């Protein structure tokens, strides 16, 4: 087999080896079908079973109540930035909490669709924290409160949902979906593109409470209507069949190999702690971008006190098969994305390298 490296890419990102092997084995022909997932109709029984299994696995893992619909869409999270306000606003207003670049982009798109407000904005501190509930400026009449549970670029994560009274939460969970248990009943809508933690690029999972699904709207384009996708069970047009298939395998891996989201969360906490303790015991050689109480378990962002050493850090890490560690240009430094599928061994190797690099360069 070609040598696999430890891939710390922010997305598309590492997938479980077991999932890739399973997909590889079945790539010439699904058992009993004689054709591969890439070659069969989305209208046939085989694909329907795959889609139903992916949905059932998600319901089981997240404990999704019966009054929520699940659809598998295309267009990535970016399309959700527009579809959400298009479908839900109906001339009224919504509140946005922006704790990083993705929330900011979602807010800018929503402004095209209706009179949305900022309930809190972390831009002035370059998005290194999340608000307390007291800091939120909420409108009790808002149709929803939007937030990003994990900001992938800044490495800032909510450890608990913001409190919004009776106003439903809408969440971009793209980069921490399936990394921990979530109480879906607190949400009006939760969505995630798959390419961070749940599968390949090309499929986006949207979970929506059924009373929020708008009535059919003659003027709305069919592809943009939740109602339409729900009515057609994600098959209004050809869905991303391969992506849905991989989501099915990833969710099977979470259920059977990992043992559920509580276990996944514990593993993710252990992995993140290895890196944060390498930062915290470095005597200031490394500094975390995110404040202590909102450090992400998925994207660990940090700077070297001597920024001139950053390219060497990245180069020497790569020589040890620790790849794709360069931080996003808006934050600089290093970003280690350690999603569900990053093995603990990769994180241990990175923590060891961080210590060794510090000793050699202090």
Ligand X SMILES: *Cc1c(COP(=O)(O)O)cnc(C)c1O
According to DSSP H, which parts of the chain are helical?
17-25, 45-62, 76-88, 101-111, 226-231, 241-252, 261-280, 310-319, 344-361
Q: Nearest approach, Cβ of 193 to ligand X (angstroms)?
A: 3
95 binds ligand X (CB under 6 A): no
Coil, helix or strand at residue 134 = helix
180 binds ligand X (CB under 6 A): no
Residue closer to ligand X by CB (options 175, 251) is: 175
Kindly identify the residues of this chain, within the stretch 224-253, that bind ligand X according to CB under 6 A. none
Q: Tell me the backbone φ, ψ of residue 296, rounded to 5 degrees.
A: -75, 140
Residue closer to ligand X by CB (options 282, 296) is: 296
Choose, by CB under 6 A, the member of 78, 209, 318, 349 that binds ligand X.
78
152 binds ligand X (CB under 6 A): yes
Q: Catalytic one among 95, 120, 172, 248?
A: 172
288 binds ligand X (CB under 6 A): no
76 binds ligand X (CB under 6 A): yes
- What's the rounded Cα separation, in Å, for the pair 19 and 237? 26
Residues in the chain: 362
Q: Kindly state the greatest CA–CA separation across the chain.
A: 66
Nearest Cα neighbor of 200 from 254, 252, 242, 140 is 242
Residue closer to ligand X by CB (options 199, 333) is: 199
Under 8 Å between Cβ of 164 and 140: no
Q: Please identify, among the stretches 71-79, 90-98, 124-132, 315-323, the one whose residues bind ligand X according to the rule CB under 6 A.
A: 71-79
Kindly identify the residues of this chain, within the stretch 99-118, that bind ligand X according to CB under 6 A. 102
172 binds ligand X (CB under 6 A): yes
Strands 204-209 and 68-73: antiparallel
Q: Which residues contact 240 (CB under 8 A, 6 or more apart)?
A: 72, 74, 202, 203
With tokens 């276990």, the residue in question is 263
Q: Nearest approach, Cβ of 11 to ligand X (angstroms)?
A: 5
Q: Nearest approach, Cβ of 174 to ligand X (angstroms)?
A: 4
Residue closer to ligand X by CB (options 100, 131) is: 100
Site string for ligand X, 182-201 (x = CB under 6 A): -----------x--x-----
Catalytic-residue membership of 196: yes
Choose, by CB under 6 A, the member of 9, 11, 111, 118 that binds ligand X.
11
Q: Nearest approach, Cβ of 77 to ligand X (angstroms)?
A: 3
Choose, by CB under 6 A, the member of 148, 234, 282, 324 that binds ligand X.
148
Residue closer to ligand X by CB (options 174, 288) is: 174
- What's the rounded Cα separation, in Å, for the pair 261 and 156? 20
CA–centroid distance for 184 within its chain? 15
Catalytic-residue membership of 102: yes
Catalytic-residue membership of 172: yes
Choose, by CB under 6 A, the member of 174, 179, 234, 301 that binds ligand X.
174
Q: What would the two tokens of residue 280 be?
A: 């915290």
12 binds ligand X (CB under 6 A): no
Q: Catalytic one among 120, 196, 248, 326?
A: 196
CA–centroid distance for 221 within its chain? 27
Q: How many residues bind ligand X (CB under 6 A)?
A: 12
Q: Nearest approach, Cβ of 284 to ligand X (angstroms)?
A: 29
Q: Is 234 exposed, middle or buried (0-12, 13-18, 19+ CB in 10 A)?
A: buried
DSSP secondary structure of 283-302: TTSEEESS-GGGB-SSEEEE
Active site residues: 102, 172, 196
Site residues for ligand X per CB under 6 A? 11, 76-78, 102, 148, 152, 172, 174-175, 193, 196
């Amino acid at each position: 087999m070609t040598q696999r490296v430890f891939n710390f890419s922010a997305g598309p990102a590492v997938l479980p080896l077991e999932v890739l092997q399973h997909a590889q084995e079945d790539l010439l022909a699904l058992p009993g079908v004689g054709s591969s997932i890439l070659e069969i109709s989305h209208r046939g029984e085989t694909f329907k079973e795959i889609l139903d299994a992916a949905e059932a696995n998600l319901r089981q893992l997240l404990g999704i109540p019966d009054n929520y619909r699940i659809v598998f869409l295309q267009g990535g999270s970016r399309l959700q930035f527009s579809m959400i306000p298009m479908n839900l606003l109906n001339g009224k207003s919504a509140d946005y909490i922006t704790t990083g670049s993705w929330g900011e982009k979602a807010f800018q798109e929503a402004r095209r669709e209706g009179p949305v407000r900022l309930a809190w904005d972390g831009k002035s501190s370059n998005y290194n924290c999340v608000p307390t509930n007291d800091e939120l400026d909420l409108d009790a009449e808002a149709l929803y409160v939007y937030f990003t549970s994990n900001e992938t670029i800044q490495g800032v994560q909510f450890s608990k949902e913001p409190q919004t009274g009776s106003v439903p939460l809408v969440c971009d969970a793209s980069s921490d979906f399936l990394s921990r248990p979530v109480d879906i009943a607190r949400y009006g809508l939760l969505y995630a593109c798959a390419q961070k933690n749940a599968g390949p690029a090309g499929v986006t999972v949207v979970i929506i409470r059924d009373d929020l699904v708008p009535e059919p709207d003659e003027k709305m384009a069919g592809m943009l209507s939740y109602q339409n996708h729900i009515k057609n069970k994600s098959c209004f047009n050809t869905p991303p069949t391969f992506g849905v298939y991989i989501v099915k395998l990833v969710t099977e891996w979470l259920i059977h190999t990992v043992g559920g989201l509580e276990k996944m969360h514990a593993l993710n906490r252990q992995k993140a702690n290895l890196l944060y303790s390498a930062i915290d015991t470095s005597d200031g050689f490394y500094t975390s971008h995110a404040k202590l109480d909102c450090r992400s378990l998925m994207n660990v962002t940090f700077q070297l006190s001597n920024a001139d050493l950053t390219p060497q850090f990245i180069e020497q890490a790569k020589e040890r098969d620790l790849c794709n560690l360069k931080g996003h240009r808006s934050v600089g430094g290093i970003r280690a994305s350690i999603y569900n599928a990053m093995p603990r061994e990769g994180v241990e190797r990175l923590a060891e390298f961080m210590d060794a690099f510090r000793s050699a360069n202090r």
